[in-house]
Amino acid sequence: MSISIRPTHVLADVGRRSVMNDDLSHLFAEVVSARAAERLARVGPRRQGENARSETGRLATSLRAYARALEKYRMPVPPVIRDELRLRSGLPS
């Protein structure tokens, strides 16, 4: 006689939420890191202008990835992030 244990819908949902939380946490941490790096690049010496541009690009990429992940998981994109993405899309990188 063999007993098999199969995950129930509840357990499967918990696993899915865990993956979602991990994904979103990682992406949000990247947004926070990119934002801090951009701020540091802005206050640095003028000769680091290229660095500031690359950090701005990194932040824009991070924001887009985070927004896409939120949409993928059918979660709303916070207005602050949505507005910042709109603003940045109009700026040269």
Average of per-residue pLDDT values in the chain: 81
The pLDDT tens digits for 20-39 are 889 999 999 999 999 999 88
Q: Residue 5: how many CB atoms within 10 A of its CB?
A: 6
Contact 55, 34 (CB under 8 A): yes
pTM reported for the whole predicted model: 0.72
Q: How far is CA 90 from CA 30, 60, 62, 63, 79, in A?
A: 22, 11, 16, 15, 17
